[in-house]
Structure 1
Amino acid sequence: MKPHLRTSAEGVDYRDLNGNGVMDPYEDPRLSPAERTEDLLGRLSTEEKVGLMFQTVIEIGPDGELLETPGAISKSPTSEVVLSKHLNHFNVHAMRTARDGARWNNNLQRLAEQTPHGIPVTISTDPRHAFVENTGVAFSAGPFSQWPEPMGLAAIDDIDLIRRFADTARQEYLAVGIRAALHPQIDLPTEARWGRQAQTFGYDADRVSEITAAYLQGFQGDELGPQSVSCTTKHFPGGGPQLDGEDAHFPYGREQVYPGGRFEEHLKPFVEAISRGTAGIMPYYGMPVGLVRNGEPIAEVGFGYSRQIITDLLREELGYDGVVVTDWELVNDNHVGDQVLPARAWGVEHLSPIERMRMLLDAGVDQFGGEECVELLQELVASGEVSAERLDASVRRILLVKFRLGLFDDPFVDEDEAERIVGAAAFREQGFRAQAESVTVLENREGTLPLFAGPRPRVYAEGLHEGALQDRADAVSRPEDADLAIVRIGAPFDARDDLFLERWFHQGSLEFPPGLVVRLKRIAEQCPLVLVVNLDRPGILTPFVPFAAALAVDFGSSDEAVLAALSGRIRPRGTLPVEIPRSMDAVRRSRTDVPGDTPDPLYPLRTGLTLP
């Protein structure tokens, strides 16, 4: 029997969350989420309401235990943030096994039962079903089934497949207690240098809108319920038009610009998300510069700070009444070890943390991402600068999502079921097939592809793990001894490591180093070269075209999936969801907010060859 489980005088099973022996309305599973929300709202202390308005990172302890010390990223022991600060929304990072995740969820929910009203915890996550490992963006799959990055799903361009992926991810999340997805990321990556486009679905606004609808359907269903994972769609009103492609996590990337006047196009997928009932929306860090909408200049402050964007546009014009959660750390600087990342208070850097918080609330946000500074909000309420009514408006939205998800009735999961569901063979097979199908073939000269159709070849390989070719070819150590060369490389970027998180972001030039081009050309002079490039950004492939016998790109695929595609065992059907520019000069000449604006692209949108 789970703790606090009782049967009322009317014969109704319920969780006695406040331990008073009575089935209070918020504990009554027969009432609607709205009715239960209103009852609980009237019972909460200011401290409990304040705690609901923060979402931060806590980490899993060894073997799924609670971590009672600060972690690698998390700032405080778990018991402190749950019992003393009354937080109950947490973003989970590393998860070693499904059993660890499930056990941790259950331990965390039991801890939450000790709070005055037993409010259950909502566990959230950034994307974790693909390949990118970046603490500020996404996590590689680990125990979960592994699929291509969202850009790879967009390359396949199959709406039903995207819905199936989202449903699979939903099942795996549910199994370990994750009830909130901090995705989809539906920004249009119109600046080719931007470092966050692997998690987008390309820049065709109409197609991204259709993908958004399918994605939300797979995670949330027709409406939010006990079998749903709530989605926070990001980054409103579109994070793609970053000046020079620099990311707004960092001070040098704070500006978003619209030289082509295409603000409304970037907004379009969010209109679809709102119509499909996304539970949450996250504004981006970016600060619009020179943006005028309906004849009114938009304030040059980060989108989360902008009342014009959050209240006037999102709330009033678009009619959104769900939860608005800020991106991480808009209030305080983030100190990790000996590195620091300034608060993303773009345009309001001069304000104090408490002044920033007040401005965010005035803009219309409900929840502070990556923060646990409850004392600042308590001070604003105590001083009368934030009214009880303003507090209640946000808390009502936040509680309603918890009730609709069924967390108050049963937040626990089965550890054995978690191991059975997460990474199940059928899910892994679907993910592997999608990895292979998303491979996009751009050049295939003289029938180089499909590979391995004839006698067992001698192959020189780079970028493949040892043993990847053992069932298909004989490995040789020199190109001159090979019948064929297969080389996998990543898209280029400028290595940076001054600010916290910076080294994980691929930013800067899209040009490959000349030494690499020369070396690959020499390989191609010895034997036919099959070049596969992982495109987390659209690198300038122009130098390789004259000498590559075959050229393909992937958006998150294992070596085995790439070889399955290039051999034709699983036919690749990827087409480019963004264009590949011909040169960096073309990138610099393009308008930041305009899709497909580089002159004379090397490979236009939706380029992709089929294999014979």
Structure 2
Amino acid sequence: MTNPTASTMTRDALAREFIRGQADEDLFGLLFHPMVFIRPDHDPDAPSPLGPSTRELIVDRGIRHLCLGAMPSPTEAADIIQSLQAIATSHGTRLPITFSSDPRHSFLQNLGASHRADGMSQWPEPIGLGAIDDDALVETFARIVRDDYRAIGIRMALHPQVDLATEPRWARQAQSFGVSPQKTARLLRAFLIGLQGDRVSGSTVAATVKHFPGGGPQRDGEDPHFSYGREQVYPGGRFEDHLLPFRTAVELGAAAIMPYYGMPVGLELGGAPVEEVGFAFNKRIITDLLRDQLGFEGVVLSDFGLINDAAPFGKPFPARAWGVEHLDGEQRMARLINAGIDQLGGESDTVQLGRLLEDGRISHERFREAVTRVVALTLDLFPGARLPDAPPLSGLEDREHVALGHAAQSRAITVLVNEEIDGHPVLPLAGPGRIHLRGIEESALPAGWSVASANDADLAIVRLSAPFELRDRFFLEASMEQGSLEFSDEVTEEIRDLAALCPVVVCVTLSRPAILTSLLPHVTALVADFGASDTAVFDALSLAQAPEGRLPFELPRSMAAVVASSPDVGSDSGDPVFPVGAGLRLTRS
């Protein structure tokens, strides 16, 4: 009998063959996925603000998955990644590093969620793709992400996010596709086809679908990065709605799934209460539901920072160990892995893992099971444990891709109000005139238009961001848009006073819903964007690129209505100012 070849062995058999005979301690690092910061002058021996140097992570701890937080230009990043790969492939397991990243093709900058596009095409936030609702566009976008990531050296996307936008106050809605479970599942399908193709390989990028089993229904809309937002609730009994997109993820073979930080409160499944601990610590959620019931076979990667308290850049950031705060670090690690987590996001303590294996708190069988999954994915991405060829970096700013992203920004813009002046709708803009600008750059004006004072203008255009309450006690908190959705009295009065001088067109960036009730009496036209440059806004307003967005979530009438709604039920504020799906079409008469 001949020995099986790599072409005839299953992926799990290949992984087991790779790790056969290797000591456990040489494999510890494969269960960790810390974040690293790289800069143009990156020194692999310099300590990181987040902990050890990159050389220590790679060589001493054997870690082969690194999430890129801050990074320089794509060209500089690619060079640094190549140098780090040279270190990895000459030490320890010799496995290449799987570099991962949160989204990098849109507008929002939040170190814990997304990065503003730099050196590549720029698109609306995913919620804007939900507003356009075009499967083919989402698949095209995912292919562009795939090729851009591969050119840089990124092989794993810590996205897409398929949480439903059912709680209007929640801070993470911009990265979702909207409130509809069916549409979210459909757009997820298109994204996975574009990013992973038929299967993960040396020419694709691994997707991490998050946040299982759906991270939208947060009590009071607070985010579970922080202790005050740890509770996830289902008063409307709609757990299955939030689970639906993950069924699609499993069906299409998503490479990885990431559970959320949230701790379910009062949730029952199959007539039995679910333990009130964070989803990643919950064996019933990870093993019984995700593995056994849904049949997921890929890597379960925990969200970042579940074990140890930290203080990045001097800001406190307690471990998101909700429901198990009383456990120490070793107990939390054991609980996560025994619940079914294969890889620990944001952690790097391989010595701690060794102690847990030595004293039997994590079984050798469970450890090898997790390692096998991680190695199988690694060998999918790096066949033969070698670095595959990558697309050229020149493709990152491909004119066609840049133009597609710019057009998508305009396409996502959603027209909500369009009143008449002298018998004609104010939109589309009717040709060169005098315009007063607030919150928008003069350089974006179309040819022939001129800037004027409010007293002398034909109309004013004002750009606003969705309201939020600034908080800055904890790390990442300042970049999370949380709290009230109402505009301040000062903003309302500014729009009112401006409207007394000339007609006002307001464009509101909806990174989450906004309560527009106070603005409506004072605007002649009102549009929403979901991540757009000033030029893209003018393209939409002038019909150079037709805006075709439909609201991916409803816009409530008041905060009282938001408070009275159920966090797990979409579009249930009772009497919204604008319902989900609202959006006018512009025509040139």
Specify the TM-score bucket, using the shorter chain as the normaliser: over 0.9
Match among 105, 127, 131 for residue 151 of structure 1: 127
Match among 3, 6, 12 for residue 34 of structure 1: 12
Amino acid at match of 2:532: S
State the partner residue of 2:532. 557
Tell whether the 8 Å contact from 1:534 to 1:554 is kept in structure 2 after alignment: yes
Q: CA–CA distance in 2 between the matches of 1:201 and 1:570?
A: 22
Tell whether the 8 Å contact from 1:357 to 1:377 is kept in structure 2 after alignment: yes
Tell whether the 8 Å contact from 1:61 to 1:67 is kept in structure 2 after alignment: no
Amino acid at match of 1:94: A
State the partner residue of 2:169. 193
Tell whether the 8 Å contact from 2:167 to 2:218 is kept in structure 1 after alignment: yes
Q: CA–CA distance in 1 between the matches of 2:388 and 2:442?
A: 42
Q: CA–CA distance in 1 between the matches of 2:9 and 2:92?
A: 21
Q: CA–CA distance in 2 between the matches of 1:76 and 1:141?
A: 27
1:99 Cα deviation from its structure 2 partner: 1.2
Q: CA–CA distance in 2 between the matches of 1:192 and 1:371?
A: 31
State the partner residue of 1:62. 40
1:397-436 map, 5 Å: 397-406=373-382, 408-411=384-387, 418-436=392-410
Aligned pair 1:596/2:588, yes or no? no
**Paired residue secondary structure (2:356):** helix
**Paired residue secondary structure (1:142):** coil
Match among 14, 18, 30 for residue 52 of structure 1: 30
Amino acid at match of 2:32: F
Amino acid at match of 2:311: H
Aligned pair 1:43/2:17, yes or no? no
1:202 Cα deviation from its structure 2 partner: 0.4
1:25 Cα deviation from its structure 2 partner: 9.1
1:510-521 map, 5 Å: 510-521=485-496
Tell whether the 8 Å contact from 1:106 to 1:413 is kept in structure 2 after alignment: no
Tell whether the 8 Å contact from 1:176 to 1:413 is kept in structure 2 after alignment: no
Cα deviation per residue 1:137-191 (whole Å; 9 max; x = unaligned)? 0000111210000000000011111111001111101111111000110001111
1:218-237 map, 5 Å: 218-237=194-213
Cα deviation per residue 1:180-205 (whole Å; 9 max; x = unaligned)? 00011000111100000000000101
1:409 Cα deviation from its structure 2 partner: 4.5
Match among 413, 416, 425 for residue 439 of structure 1: 413
| Bigger mean CA deviation after superposition, 256-265 or 443-452 | 443-452
Q: CA–CA distance in 1 between the matches of 2:102 and 2:392?
A: 19
Aligned pair 1:499/2:474, yes or no? yes
**Paired residue secondary structure (2:409):** helix
Structure 1 residues 228, 601: closer, same or farther in 2, change over 3 A? same
Q: CA–CA distance in 1 between the matches of 2:75 and 2:511?
A: 31
Structure 1 residues 67, 484: closer, same or farther in 2, change over 3 A? farther
Q: CA–CA distance in 2 between the matches of 1:33 and 1:43?
A: 18
**Paired residue secondary structure (1:68):** coil
Q: CA–CA distance in 1 between the matches of 2:253 and 2:319?
A: 30
Tell whether the 8 Å contact from 1:54 to 1:87 is kept in structure 2 after alignment: yes
Aligned pair 1:116/2:108, yes or no? no
Tell whether the 8 Å contact from 2:202 to 2:388 is kept in structure 1 after alignment: no
Cα deviation per residue 1:433-481 (whole Å; 9 max; x = unaligned)? 0001000000000144434423x211110111242226241112x3111
1:71-470 map, 5 Å: 71-72=48-49, 74-406=50-382, 408-411=384-387, 418-446=392-420, 447-454=424-431, 456-469=432-445
Tell whether the 8 Å contact from 1:102 to 1:413 is kept in structure 2 after alignment: no
State the partner residue of 1:536. 511
Cα deviation per residue 1:288-347 (whole Å; 9 max; x = unaligned)? 001111110000000000011001111111111210010000000121132111000000
Gaps (5+ residues) in structure 2? none
Amino acid at match of 2:519: F
Structure 1 residues 364, 31: closer, same or farther in 2, change over 3 A? closer
Q: CA–CA distance in 2 between the matches of 1:208 and 1:227?
A: 26
User: TM-score of the superposition, structure 2-length normalised?
Assistant: 0.96
Tell whether the 8 Å contact from 1:37 to 1:403 is kept in structure 2 after alignment: yes
State the partner residue of 1:490. 465
Cα deviation per residue 1:117-144 (whole Å; 9 max; x = unaligned)? 3111000000110001000100001112
Cα deviation per residue 1:503-536 (whole Å; 9 max; x = unaligned)? 0000000000011101111111111101000001
State the partner residue of 2:561. 586
Amino acid at match of 1:450: L
1:412 Cα deviation from its structure 2 partner: 5.8
Q: CA–CA distance in 1 between the matches of 2:572 and 2:302?
A: 31
Identity of aligned residues (%): 44
1:418 Cα deviation from its structure 2 partner: 3.7
Cα deviation per residue 1:208-241 (whole Å; 9 max; x = unaligned)? 1111111100100011111110001000000000
Gaps (5+ residues) in structure 1? 1-23
1:547 Cα deviation from its structure 2 partner: 1.8
Q: CA–CA distance in 2 between the matches of 1:137 and 1:338?
A: 20
Amino acid at match of 2:343: Q
RMSD: 1.6
